[in-house]
A and B are shown apart, each in its own frame.
Chain A
Amino acid sequence: MNDVAIIGGGMTVFQRRLKETGKELSYLATKMALEEAGITKKDIDMVVMGSAPDAFDGIHQKGENLLDGAAGAGKPYVRVFNGGGTGVFAPIAGWWHVASGVADIALVVCEEKMGNCYPHPQTAFRHIWDPILDRPLSPNLVWLFAMEMNRYMTKYNIKKEDIARVAVKNKRNAVGHPCAQLPDENITIEDVLNSEMMAWPVQRLDISPPSDGASALIFCSKDKVRQFTDDPVWVDGVGWNIDSTMWTNRDLSFPRYVANAARMAYKMAGIHNPRKEIDFAEPYDPFDYKELHHMEGLLLCNKGEAPILTREGVTERDGNMPMCPSGGLLGVGNPIAATMGQKICELYWQLAGKAGKRQIPTDPMVGVGQAWGDIMQMATVAVLRRG
Chain B
Amino acid sequence: MTFLEKQTDPTTPMHWTGDMQADYFYSNGVAGDRFFKHLMKKDTFLASECPECGVTFIPPRLYCEDCFCGIPDDKWVEVKAQGVIRTNTTAMIDAHNEPLEEPVVMALIEIDDTDGAMLGRIKTDMLGMDLAGLMVKAKLRPRKDREGTMKDILYFEPY
Contacts and interface: CB of A to CB of B under 8 A. Distances in A.
In this complex, which of A20, A58, A118 has the most chain B Cβ atoms within 10 angstroms of its Cβ? A20
B24 A18 contact: no
Given A31-B68, A34-B68, A41-B68, A21 B29 contact: yes
A317 B21 CA distance: 43
Interface string A83-106: 000000000000000000000000
A73 interface: yes
B16 A58 contact: no
A328 B32 CA distance: 32
A127 B16 contact: no
Contact of A116 (B24, B33, B68): B24
Interface stretch (B40-48, B59-67, B92-100, B121-129): B59-67
Interface in B21-62: 21-33, 62
* Prevailing SS type, chain A contact patch: helix
Nearest to A133: B16
Given A41-B67, A41-B68, A73-B65, A19 B30 contact: yes
9 contacts: A19-B33, A31-B70, A40-B68, A58-B22, A58-B26, A68-B65, A69-B65, A123-B21, A136-B16
A27 B22 contact: no
A27 B66 CA distance: 12
Contacts of B21: 123, 126
B18 interface: yes
A48 B70 CA distance: 22
Contacts of A19: 27, 29-30, 33
A361 interface: no
B24 A117 contact: yes
Contacts of A69: 63, 65
A135 B22 CA distance: 15
Contacts of A55: 20, 22
Contact of A74 (B23, B62, B66, B70): B66
B63 A21 contact: no
